[in-house]
A and B are shown apart, each in its own frame.
Chain A
Amino acid sequence: MQAQTRNRQWPWVAIGLSLAVAFTLSMVSPADSVQGDLVRIMYVHVPAAWLAYLAFFVTFVGSVGYLTTKDLRWDRIAAASAEIGVYFTGLAIALGMIWAKPTWGVWWTWDARLTLTAIMFFVYLGYLALRRTTDDPVIRAGRSSVLGVLGALQIPLVHFSVVWWRTLHQPPSLVRPDGPAIQDPLMLTALIVGVLAFTIVYGSLMVKRIELIKLDDQKAAIEQSIERPVAGEAVTVPDLGASS
Protein backbone atom coordinates (compact mmCIF):
# COMPACT_ATOMS: atom_id res chain seq x y z
CA MET A 1 0.00 0.00 0.00
CA GLN A 2 2.81 2.37 0.98
CA ALA A 3 4.73 1.42 -2.15
CA GLN A 4 1.66 2.18 -4.25
CA THR A 5 1.30 5.62 -2.65
CA ARG A 6 5.00 6.28 -3.31
CA ASN A 7 4.49 5.27 -6.94
CA ARG A 8 1.58 7.66 -7.29
CA GLN A 9 3.42 10.54 -5.69
CA TRP A 10 6.79 10.41 -7.44
CA PRO A 11 5.70 12.38 -10.54
CA TRP A 12 4.42 15.23 -8.41
CA VAL A 13 7.57 15.25 -6.27
CA ALA A 14 9.72 15.29 -9.43
CA ILE A 15 7.67 18.10 -10.96
CA GLY A 16 7.77 20.15 -7.75
CA LEU A 17 11.51 19.76 -7.22
CA SER A 18 12.55 20.44 -10.79
CA LEU A 19 10.30 23.48 -11.16
CA ALA A 20 11.51 24.88 -7.83
CA VAL A 21 15.15 24.62 -8.93
CA ALA A 22 14.37 26.14 -12.34
CA PHE A 23 12.38 28.98 -10.78
CA THR A 24 15.15 29.79 -8.27
CA LEU A 25 17.81 29.85 -10.98
CA SER A 26 15.72 32.04 -13.27
CA MET A 27 15.22 34.51 -10.43
CA VAL A 28 18.89 34.70 -9.38
CA SER A 29 20.22 34.94 -12.95
CA PRO A 30 21.17 38.50 -14.00
CA ALA A 31 18.83 40.81 -15.89
CA ASP A 32 19.62 41.34 -19.57
CA SER A 33 21.51 44.51 -20.50
CA VAL A 34 18.94 45.40 -23.19
CA GLN A 35 15.69 43.67 -22.17
CA GLY A 36 16.08 43.99 -18.40
CA ASP A 37 13.90 41.66 -16.30
CA LEU A 38 11.74 40.91 -19.32
CA VAL A 39 14.34 38.32 -20.30
CA ARG A 40 13.04 36.06 -17.48
CA ILE A 41 10.06 35.16 -19.67
CA MET A 42 12.61 33.30 -21.81
CA TYR A 43 13.14 30.77 -18.98
CA VAL A 44 9.57 29.55 -19.44
CA HIS A 45 9.01 30.43 -23.11
CA VAL A 46 12.00 28.49 -24.48
CA PRO A 47 11.34 25.31 -22.41
CA ALA A 48 7.63 25.46 -23.38
CA ALA A 49 8.55 25.72 -27.06
CA TRP A 50 11.05 22.85 -26.66
CA LEU A 51 8.33 20.70 -25.09
CA ALA A 52 6.01 21.48 -27.99
CA TYR A 53 8.60 20.12 -30.46
CA LEU A 54 9.35 17.12 -28.26
CA ALA A 55 5.68 16.34 -27.69
CA PHE A 56 4.74 16.53 -31.36
CA PHE A 57 7.77 14.47 -32.35
CA VAL A 58 6.69 11.80 -29.84
CA THR A 59 3.18 11.98 -31.36
CA PHE A 60 4.77 11.29 -34.74
CA VAL A 61 6.76 8.34 -33.33
CA GLY A 62 3.65 6.99 -31.57
CA SER A 63 1.62 7.30 -34.79
CA VAL A 64 4.24 5.50 -36.87
CA GLY A 65 4.47 2.90 -34.10
CA TYR A 66 0.74 2.27 -34.20
CA LEU A 67 0.59 2.11 -38.00
CA THR A 68 3.36 -0.48 -38.10
CA THR A 69 2.44 -2.62 -35.05
CA LYS A 70 -1.33 -1.97 -34.53
CA ASP A 71 -0.55 -1.91 -30.81
CA LEU A 72 -2.86 0.53 -28.98
CA ARG A 73 -0.10 1.42 -26.52
CA TRP A 74 1.58 3.45 -29.29
CA ASP A 75 -1.65 5.30 -29.94
CA ARG A 76 -1.99 6.17 -26.24
CA ILE A 77 1.54 7.59 -26.29
CA ALA A 78 0.72 9.66 -29.39
CA ALA A 79 -2.54 10.97 -27.94
CA ALA A 80 -1.11 11.85 -24.53
CA SER A 81 1.83 13.61 -26.11
CA ALA A 82 -0.38 15.62 -28.50
CA GLU A 83 -2.51 16.87 -25.61
CA ILE A 84 0.55 18.01 -23.66
CA GLY A 85 2.07 19.49 -26.83
CA VAL A 86 -1.03 21.57 -27.58
CA TYR A 87 -1.02 22.92 -24.03
CA PHE A 88 2.66 23.89 -24.13
CA THR A 89 2.41 25.35 -27.64
CA GLY A 90 -0.42 27.56 -26.39
CA LEU A 91 1.72 28.54 -23.40
CA ALA A 92 4.72 29.36 -25.63
CA ILE A 93 2.55 31.50 -27.92
CA ALA A 94 0.90 33.33 -25.00
CA LEU A 95 4.25 34.03 -23.31
CA GLY A 96 5.76 35.15 -26.61
CA MET A 97 2.91 37.63 -27.04
CA ILE A 98 3.37 38.96 -23.50
CA TRP A 99 7.08 39.42 -24.23
CA ALA A 100 6.47 40.94 -27.69
CA LYS A 101 4.20 43.79 -26.55
CA PRO A 102 6.83 45.73 -24.54
CA THR A 103 9.73 44.62 -26.78
CA TRP A 104 8.33 44.93 -30.32
CA GLY A 105 5.39 47.22 -29.48
CA VAL A 106 2.76 44.74 -30.76
CA TRP A 107 1.14 41.59 -29.37
CA TRP A 108 1.45 39.81 -32.69
CA THR A 109 3.57 40.26 -35.79
CA TRP A 110 3.42 38.29 -39.05
CA ASP A 111 6.76 36.70 -38.43
CA ALA A 112 7.44 33.27 -40.00
CA ARG A 113 8.18 31.55 -36.66
CA LEU A 114 5.11 32.98 -34.92
CA THR A 115 2.74 32.28 -37.78
CA LEU A 116 3.97 28.74 -38.35
CA THR A 117 3.83 27.98 -34.61
CA ALA A 118 0.20 29.14 -34.55
CA ILE A 119 -0.48 26.92 -37.58
CA MET A 120 1.18 23.95 -35.84
CA PHE A 121 -1.05 24.62 -32.81
CA PHE A 122 -4.15 24.35 -35.02
CA VAL A 123 -2.89 21.19 -36.76
CA TYR A 124 -2.72 19.39 -33.40
CA LEU A 125 -5.93 20.96 -32.19
CA GLY A 126 -7.46 19.29 -35.25
CA TYR A 127 -5.75 16.02 -34.24
CA LEU A 128 -7.40 16.20 -30.79
CA ALA A 129 -10.75 17.17 -32.35
CA LEU A 130 -10.52 14.16 -34.67
CA ARG A 131 -9.96 11.84 -31.72
CA ARG A 132 -13.16 13.07 -30.09
CA THR A 133 -15.26 12.11 -33.13
CA THR A 134 -14.76 8.34 -32.81
CA ASP A 135 -15.51 6.18 -29.75
CA ASP A 136 -14.00 2.92 -30.98
CA PRO A 137 -10.34 2.88 -29.81
CA VAL A 138 -9.09 0.89 -32.82
CA ILE A 139 -10.82 3.06 -35.45
CA ARG A 140 -9.77 6.19 -33.60
CA ALA A 141 -6.15 5.02 -33.44
CA GLY A 142 -6.03 4.16 -37.15
CA ARG A 143 -7.34 7.52 -38.28
CA SER A 144 -5.53 9.77 -35.86
CA SER A 145 -2.19 8.05 -36.45
CA VAL A 146 -2.34 9.04 -40.14
CA LEU A 147 -2.93 12.65 -39.09
CA GLY A 148 -0.16 12.34 -36.51
CA VAL A 149 2.28 11.47 -39.30
CA LEU A 150 0.96 14.20 -41.61
CA GLY A 151 1.07 16.86 -38.90
CA ALA A 152 4.75 16.21 -38.21
CA LEU A 153 5.55 18.00 -41.48
CA GLN A 154 5.09 21.25 -39.57
CA ILE A 155 7.80 20.61 -36.95
CA PRO A 156 10.91 21.19 -39.14
CA LEU A 157 9.14 24.10 -40.88
CA VAL A 158 8.59 25.84 -37.54
CA HIS A 159 12.07 25.16 -36.19
CA PHE A 160 13.99 26.18 -39.29
CA SER A 161 11.73 29.11 -40.21
CA VAL A 162 14.06 31.50 -38.38
CA VAL A 163 16.98 30.18 -40.44
CA TRP A 164 15.25 29.96 -43.83
CA TRP A 165 13.45 33.31 -43.68
CA ARG A 166 14.75 36.67 -42.46
CA THR A 167 12.43 37.02 -39.48
CA LEU A 168 11.93 39.28 -36.48
CA HIS A 169 12.09 36.30 -34.14
CA GLN A 170 15.65 35.59 -32.99
CA PRO A 171 17.42 32.43 -34.23
CA PRO A 172 17.61 29.34 -31.95
CA SER A 173 19.13 30.17 -28.52
CA LEU A 174 20.62 26.78 -27.63
CA VAL A 175 20.78 24.44 -30.63
CA ARG A 176 23.09 26.27 -33.05
CA PRO A 177 26.08 25.10 -35.11
CA ASP A 178 28.34 27.75 -33.47
CA GLY A 179 27.25 27.04 -29.88
CA PRO A 180 24.60 28.66 -27.65
CA ALA A 181 23.85 32.34 -28.28
CA ILE A 182 23.75 33.08 -24.53
CA GLN A 183 27.21 33.95 -23.16
CA ASP A 184 26.45 34.48 -19.45
CA PRO A 185 27.05 31.12 -17.66
CA LEU A 186 24.31 31.67 -15.03
CA MET A 187 21.72 32.60 -17.67
CA LEU A 188 22.71 29.61 -19.76
CA THR A 189 22.53 27.29 -16.71
CA ALA A 190 19.10 28.67 -15.74
CA LEU A 191 17.84 28.09 -19.26
CA ILE A 192 19.22 24.54 -19.50
CA VAL A 193 17.84 23.65 -16.06
CA GLY A 194 14.48 25.11 -17.13
CA VAL A 195 14.48 22.91 -20.22
CA LEU A 196 15.34 19.84 -18.10
CA ALA A 197 12.65 20.71 -15.52
CA PHE A 198 10.00 21.07 -18.21
CA THR A 199 11.12 17.77 -19.74
CA ILE A 200 10.57 16.09 -16.34
CA VAL A 201 7.13 17.73 -16.20
CA TYR A 202 6.43 16.33 -19.66
CA GLY A 203 7.56 12.83 -18.68
CA SER A 204 5.45 12.86 -15.52
CA LEU A 205 2.37 14.17 -17.30
CA MET A 206 2.84 11.55 -20.00
CA VAL A 207 2.84 8.72 -17.45
CA LYS A 208 -0.35 10.05 -15.83
CA ARG A 209 -2.13 10.79 -19.10
CA ILE A 210 -1.34 7.42 -20.64
CA GLU A 211 -2.73 5.74 -17.50
CA LEU A 212 -5.92 7.80 -17.82
CA ILE A 213 -6.38 7.00 -21.52
CA LYS A 214 -5.89 3.30 -20.76
CA LEU A 215 -8.51 3.48 -18.00
CA ASP A 216 -10.87 5.33 -20.36
CA ASP A 217 -10.47 2.57 -22.96
CA GLN A 218 -11.10 -0.10 -20.31
CA LYS A 219 -14.20 1.75 -19.11
CA ALA A 220 -15.53 2.00 -22.66
CA ALA A 221 -14.91 -1.73 -23.20
CA ILE A 222 -16.77 -2.64 -19.98
CA GLU A 223 -19.67 -0.38 -20.90
CA GLN A 224 -19.93 -2.02 -24.30
CA SER A 225 -19.83 -5.54 -22.85
CA ILE A 226 -22.63 -4.95 -20.30
CA GLU A 227 -25.97 -6.25 -21.48
CA ARG A 228 -28.25 -3.29 -21.88
CA PRO A 229 -32.04 -3.29 -22.42
CA VAL A 230 -33.00 -3.16 -26.06
CA ALA A 231 -34.55 0.13 -27.19
CA GLY A 232 -38.34 -0.16 -27.12
CA GLU A 233 -38.28 -3.20 -24.82
CA ALA A 234 -40.51 -1.42 -22.30
CA VAL A 235 -43.20 -0.88 -24.94
CA THR A 236 -45.87 -3.57 -24.74
CA VAL A 237 -48.65 -4.49 -27.11
CA PRO A 238 -51.76 -2.52 -26.11
CA ASP A 239 -54.70 -4.57 -24.92
CA LEU A 240 -57.56 -3.51 -27.20
CA GLY A 241 -60.02 -5.86 -25.57
CA ALA A 242 -60.31 -8.05 -28.66
CA SER A 243 -60.18 -11.24 -26.61
CA SER A 244 -63.37 -10.45 -24.67
Chain B
Amino acid sequence: MTTGFWHQVSAVVHRDLLRERRRGDVLWITIPFGAIALLLIPLAVGTDAILLRQIGPGMYWVIVMLFGVLVSVGKASNETLPQQDASALLGLDPAAGFVGRATSATLLLLIFEVVVGVVAVGLYDVSIIGIPWLIVTLIIVAIGLALLGTLTGSIVNSTSAGTALVPLLVAPLSVPLLLGATQSYEGLRLGHSILSWVLLMVAVVLIVAIIGVLTARPLQET
Protein backbone atom coordinates (compact mmCIF):
# COMPACT_ATOMS: atom_id res chain seq x y z
CA MET B 1 0.00 0.00 0.00
CA THR B 2 1.97 2.99 -1.24
CA THR B 3 -0.96 5.36 -1.75
CA GLY B 4 -1.34 8.83 -0.22
CA PHE B 5 -2.37 9.59 3.34
CA TRP B 6 -6.00 10.51 2.60
CA HIS B 7 -6.46 7.54 0.28
CA GLN B 8 -5.37 5.29 3.16
CA VAL B 9 -7.77 7.12 5.49
CA SER B 10 -10.69 6.57 3.11
CA ALA B 11 -9.73 2.88 2.77
CA VAL B 12 -9.84 2.44 6.54
CA VAL B 13 -13.18 4.30 6.78
CA HIS B 14 -14.59 2.10 4.00
CA ARG B 15 -13.36 -1.06 5.78
CA ASP B 16 -14.84 -0.02 9.15
CA LEU B 17 -18.21 0.96 7.68
CA LEU B 18 -18.35 -2.25 5.69
CA ARG B 19 -17.63 -4.23 8.86
CA GLU B 20 -20.37 -2.30 10.67
CA ARG B 21 -22.83 -3.02 7.83
CA ARG B 22 -22.09 -6.73 8.13
CA ARG B 23 -22.08 -6.98 11.92
CA GLY B 24 -24.45 -4.14 12.89
CA ASP B 25 -22.85 -3.58 16.32
CA VAL B 26 -23.89 0.05 16.53
CA LEU B 27 -27.24 -0.19 14.82
CA TRP B 28 -28.52 -3.30 16.55
CA ILE B 29 -26.76 -3.22 19.91
CA THR B 30 -25.47 0.21 21.02
CA ILE B 31 -28.40 2.33 19.77
CA PRO B 32 -31.10 0.10 21.34
CA PHE B 33 -29.01 -0.05 24.53
CA GLY B 34 -28.91 3.79 24.70
CA ALA B 35 -32.64 4.00 24.03
CA ILE B 36 -33.37 1.52 26.84
CA ALA B 37 -31.22 3.58 29.23
CA LEU B 38 -33.28 6.66 28.36
CA LEU B 39 -36.41 4.63 29.06
CA LEU B 40 -35.14 3.39 32.43
CA ILE B 41 -34.15 6.77 33.89
CA PRO B 42 -37.74 8.06 34.36
CA LEU B 43 -38.62 4.80 36.12
CA ALA B 44 -35.91 5.58 38.68
CA VAL B 45 -36.26 9.37 39.13
CA GLY B 46 -40.01 9.74 38.58
CA THR B 47 -42.24 10.31 35.57
CA ASP B 48 -43.23 13.90 36.26
CA ALA B 49 -43.33 15.66 32.86
CA ILE B 50 -41.83 18.95 34.13
CA LEU B 51 -38.94 17.13 35.83
CA LEU B 52 -38.24 15.04 32.74
CA ARG B 53 -38.28 18.12 30.49
CA GLN B 54 -35.76 19.70 32.86
CA ILE B 55 -33.33 16.76 33.11
CA GLY B 56 -33.87 15.47 29.55
CA PRO B 57 -31.01 17.34 27.80
CA GLY B 58 -28.51 16.43 30.53
CA MET B 59 -29.56 12.78 30.50
CA TYR B 60 -29.27 12.73 26.71
CA TRP B 61 -25.67 13.96 26.80
CA VAL B 62 -24.72 11.54 29.58
CA ILE B 63 -26.11 8.66 27.52
CA VAL B 64 -24.23 9.92 24.46
CA MET B 65 -20.98 10.06 26.46
CA LEU B 66 -21.30 6.69 28.18
CA PHE B 67 -22.73 4.65 25.32
CA GLY B 68 -21.28 6.58 22.43
CA VAL B 69 -17.79 5.73 23.56
CA LEU B 70 -18.57 2.05 23.02
CA VAL B 71 -19.02 2.88 19.35
CA SER B 72 -15.54 4.33 18.88
CA VAL B 73 -13.78 1.86 21.18
CA GLY B 74 -15.22 -1.05 19.26
CA LYS B 75 -13.67 0.22 16.06
CA ALA B 76 -10.22 0.60 17.63
CA SER B 77 -9.96 -2.45 19.86
CA ASN B 78 -11.59 -5.08 17.66
CA GLU B 79 -8.48 -5.47 15.52
CA THR B 80 -6.61 -8.67 16.26
CA LEU B 81 -2.82 -8.82 16.31
CA PRO B 82 -2.60 -10.58 12.90
CA GLN B 83 -4.83 -7.85 11.42
CA GLN B 84 -2.57 -5.17 12.88
CA ASP B 85 0.51 -6.94 11.55
CA ALA B 86 -1.10 -7.21 8.11
CA SER B 87 -1.89 -3.49 8.09
CA ALA B 88 1.70 -2.68 9.12
CA LEU B 89 3.15 -4.99 6.43
CA LEU B 90 0.92 -3.36 3.81
CA GLY B 91 2.54 -0.06 4.70
CA LEU B 92 -0.52 1.55 6.29
CA ASP B 93 0.55 4.80 7.93
CA PRO B 94 -0.41 4.44 11.64
CA ALA B 95 -1.59 8.07 11.68
CA ALA B 96 -3.83 7.36 8.66
CA GLY B 97 -5.17 4.31 10.47
CA PHE B 98 -5.96 6.46 13.52
CA VAL B 99 -7.65 9.19 11.47
CA GLY B 100 -9.59 6.60 9.46
CA ARG B 101 -10.87 4.75 12.53
CA ALA B 102 -11.78 8.04 14.21
CA THR B 103 -13.61 9.22 11.07
CA SER B 104 -15.70 6.08 10.76
CA ALA B 105 -16.45 6.26 14.50
CA THR B 106 -17.52 9.90 14.06
CA LEU B 107 -19.98 8.94 11.32
CA LEU B 108 -21.43 6.13 13.44
CA LEU B 109 -21.58 8.38 16.49
CA LEU B 110 -23.53 10.98 14.52
CA ILE B 111 -26.10 8.30 13.64
CA PHE B 112 -26.17 7.26 17.30
CA GLU B 113 -26.67 10.88 18.45
CA VAL B 114 -29.50 11.51 16.01
CA VAL B 115 -31.44 8.31 16.77
CA VAL B 116 -31.02 8.59 20.54
CA GLY B 117 -31.83 12.32 20.25
CA VAL B 118 -35.16 11.51 18.59
CA VAL B 119 -35.90 9.04 21.42
CA ALA B 120 -34.98 11.69 24.03
CA VAL B 121 -37.23 14.29 22.39
CA GLY B 122 -40.09 11.78 22.32
CA LEU B 123 -39.71 10.47 25.87
CA TYR B 124 -38.66 13.64 27.70
CA ASP B 125 -40.42 16.28 25.58
CA VAL B 126 -37.13 18.13 25.16
CA SER B 127 -37.49 21.31 23.12
CA ILE B 128 -35.11 21.72 20.18
CA ILE B 129 -33.65 25.24 20.13
CA GLY B 130 -30.88 26.95 18.17
CA ILE B 131 -30.70 24.23 15.53
CA PRO B 132 -27.52 25.48 13.73
CA TRP B 133 -25.55 25.61 17.01
CA LEU B 134 -27.07 22.32 18.13
CA ILE B 135 -25.81 20.67 14.94
CA VAL B 136 -22.35 22.18 15.51
CA THR B 137 -22.35 20.83 19.09
CA LEU B 138 -23.45 17.37 17.96
CA ILE B 139 -20.68 17.24 15.35
CA ILE B 140 -17.94 18.45 17.74
CA VAL B 141 -19.00 15.99 20.46
CA ALA B 142 -19.10 13.15 17.92
CA ILE B 143 -15.59 14.00 16.69
CA GLY B 144 -14.25 14.44 20.24
CA LEU B 145 -15.71 11.18 21.51
CA ALA B 146 -14.57 9.33 18.42
CA LEU B 147 -11.00 10.60 18.88
CA LEU B 148 -10.93 9.81 22.61
CA GLY B 149 -12.44 6.37 22.09
CA THR B 150 -10.13 5.53 19.21
CA LEU B 151 -7.05 6.68 21.12
CA THR B 152 -7.92 4.82 24.35
CA GLY B 153 -9.03 1.80 22.33
CA SER B 154 -5.57 1.72 20.73
CA ILE B 155 -3.95 2.05 24.17
CA VAL B 156 -5.83 -0.89 25.72
CA ASN B 157 -5.83 -3.05 22.59
CA SER B 158 -4.52 -6.58 23.37
CA THR B 159 -4.06 -5.88 27.08
CA SER B 160 -5.33 -8.37 29.66
CA ALA B 161 -8.12 -6.00 30.76
CA GLY B 162 -9.18 -5.29 27.17
CA THR B 163 -12.17 -3.03 26.67
CA ALA B 164 -13.22 -3.35 30.34
CA LEU B 165 -10.67 -0.66 31.15
CA VAL B 166 -11.84 1.80 28.49
CA PRO B 167 -14.81 3.35 30.35
CA LEU B 168 -12.55 4.15 33.30
CA LEU B 169 -10.13 5.91 30.95
CA VAL B 170 -12.61 7.68 28.68
CA ALA B 171 -15.33 8.79 31.12
CA PRO B 172 -13.11 11.23 33.09
CA LEU B 173 -11.35 12.47 29.96
CA SER B 174 -14.63 13.27 28.20
CA VAL B 175 -15.76 15.64 30.97
CA PRO B 176 -14.82 18.84 29.05
CA LEU B 177 -17.00 17.62 26.16
CA LEU B 178 -19.90 16.82 28.49
CA LEU B 179 -19.58 20.23 30.16
CA GLY B 180 -19.38 21.99 26.80
CA ALA B 181 -22.39 20.14 25.36
CA THR B 182 -24.69 20.59 28.36
CA GLN B 183 -23.70 24.21 28.94
CA SER B 184 -24.16 25.00 25.24
CA TYR B 185 -27.75 23.75 25.38
CA GLU B 186 -28.34 25.71 28.60
CA GLY B 187 -26.85 28.81 26.98
CA LEU B 188 -29.08 28.44 23.91
CA ARG B 189 -32.13 27.98 26.15
CA LEU B 190 -31.34 31.17 28.07
CA GLY B 191 -30.33 33.09 24.94
CA HIS B 192 -26.67 33.50 26.00
CA SER B 193 -23.59 33.25 23.80
CA ILE B 194 -22.19 29.70 23.72
CA LEU B 195 -19.02 30.55 21.83
CA SER B 196 -16.73 29.97 24.84
CA TRP B 197 -18.14 26.47 25.38
CA VAL B 198 -17.82 25.65 21.69
CA LEU B 199 -14.21 26.87 21.77
CA LEU B 200 -13.50 24.68 24.81
CA MET B 201 -14.80 21.63 22.94
CA VAL B 202 -12.87 22.52 19.79
CA ALA B 203 -9.68 22.95 21.85
CA VAL B 204 -10.15 19.50 23.43
CA VAL B 205 -10.80 17.96 20.01
CA LEU B 206 -7.67 19.54 18.53
CA ILE B 207 -5.43 18.48 21.43
CA VAL B 208 -6.69 14.88 21.38
CA ALA B 209 -6.35 14.78 17.58
CA ILE B 210 -2.75 15.99 17.76
CA ILE B 211 -1.86 13.51 20.53
CA GLY B 212 -3.58 10.72 18.59
CA VAL B 213 -1.74 11.41 15.34
CA LEU B 214 1.65 11.90 17.03
CA THR B 215 1.38 8.75 19.16
CA ALA B 216 -0.13 6.49 16.49
CA ARG B 217 3.24 5.06 15.48
CA PRO B 218 4.60 4.43 19.02
CA LEU B 219 1.32 2.74 19.90
CA GLN B 220 1.48 0.54 16.82
CA GLU B 221 5.01 -0.51 17.77
CA THR B 222 3.80 -1.73 21.17
Contact = CB atoms under 8 A, between A and B. Distances in A.
Q: State yes or no: do A and B come from one complex.
A: yes
Interface of A: 67, 116, 119-120, 122-123, 125-126, 129-130, 132-134, 138-139, 142-143, 145-147, 149-151, 153-154, 157
B120 interface: no
Contacts, number: 69
Interface residues of B, number: 24
B159 A143 contact: yes
A146 B219 contact: yes
A146 B172 contact: no
B215 A146 contact: yes
A154 B159 CA distance: 25
Nearest to A112: B179
B135 interface: no
Contacts of B221: 142
A177 B164 CA distance: 44
Contacts of A116: 175
Nearest to A68: B218
B151 A146 contact: yes
17 contacts: A67-B215, A67-B218, A122-B172, A123-B173, A125-B168, A126-B165, A129-B168, A130-B156, A130-B165, A134-B159, A142-B219, A142-B222, A143-B156, A143-B159, A146-B155, A146-B215, A149-B215
A131 to B, nearest CB: 10
A150 B155 CA distance: 11
Given A150-B173, A153-B176, 16 more contacts: A67-B215, A119-B175, A122-B168, A126-B168, A129-B165, A130-B156, A130-B161, A133-B161, A134-B160, A142-B221, A142-B222, A143-B159, A146-B155, A147-B155, A154-B172, A154-B173
